[in-house]
Amino acid sequence: MLTYKTRYSILALVHLAREYNKGPVMIGTIAQEERIPKRFLEGILLELKKNGYLDSKLGKNGGYFLIRKPDEVNLMEILRLFEGAIALLPCISEKYYRPCEHCKDEASCTIRHTFKDIREYTYNKLAETTLQSLL
């Protein structure tokens, strides 16, 4: 299950994708229109900025804006940023692999094979789903 942080980050990014190249959007506007607690959103936007997705402008007409094109940001990146591994089991994770403590032989483990198929589908679906495709 996704954390609120991940869900809110996706909502905020889609909101900013709708406003791409139209100038900065104030935090309060995003918070109100997407029904995200403003204080929580501030931290999320700072983290997205730190990781190269957003920039901000101070002042009367300030706010946040995407610095990458909406079709260049996919959900897989965002999930990895906020959730870590995509895989449900550590023995099938690409970035966070750990051997299974219960498996006698990973190559013949039917449970592992099933969850690997789920991971592959999930990875591919998230990788092909861009902010642009969610508009």
Q: Is the pLDDT of residue 103 over 90?
A: no
Mean local confidence (pLDDT), 108-125: 92
Q: Is the pLDDT of residue 10 over 90?
A: yes
Higher pLDDT, 105 or 65: 65
Mean local confidence (pLDDT), 17-24: 96
Please give the structure tokens belonging to residue 61: 């007409």
Q: Is the pLDDT of residue 31 over 90?
A: yes
Identity of residue 11: L
CA–CA dist 96, 123 (Å, integer): 14
Identity of residue 29: T
